[in-house]
């Protein structure tokens, strides 16, 4: 879900993804290459994201991942259930009649 939501805005390459996750989570969530890439390949294999080699002038080519149509649906439903889950948890943990 994290990755899906990151590439929703714009296509990113693997290193960017790992940096963004690290930064946005304030350093609490960190993916090493050894676990990030198998995850990316699995998401790609499931058809939720699509990786594509892109060459920019003066740089080596990089593989950019973008969200697929199917991935967008999955993300929407995951976000929904996540929010429901979070809301549920909140309702349980909030002090009554606060």
Instruction: Give the per-residue contact string, 66-95, with another protein (x = CB under 8 A; - = no).
Output: ------------------------------
Cα gap 96→26, rounded to integer Å:
31
Which residue from 1, 2, 9, 15 is in contact with another protein, where contact means CB under 8 A?
15
Question: Which runs of E-coded beta strand occur in the chain?
Answer: 12-13, 49-54, 62-67
Sign of the dihedral defined by the CA atoms of residues 36, 39, 43, 45, in that order:
positive
- Rule CB under 8 A: is residue 20 a binding residue for another protein? no
Which residue from 29, 33, 87, 89 is in contact with another protein, where contact means CB under 8 A?
33
- Rule CB under 8 A: is residue 23 a binding residue for another protein? no
């Amino acid at each position: 879900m994290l990755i899906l939501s990151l590439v929703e805005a714009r296509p990113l390459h693997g290193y960017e993804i790992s940096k963004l996750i690290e930064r946005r989570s304030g350093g609490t969530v960190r993916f090493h290459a050894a676990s990030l890439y198998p995850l990316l390949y699995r998401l790609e294999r499931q058809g939720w994201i699509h990786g594509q080699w892109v060459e920019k002038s003066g740089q080596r080519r990089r593989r950019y991942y973008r969200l697929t149509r199917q991935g967008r649906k999955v993300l929407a439903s995951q976000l929904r259930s996540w929010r429901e889950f979070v809301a549920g948890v909140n309702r349980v943990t909030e002090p009554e009649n606060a």
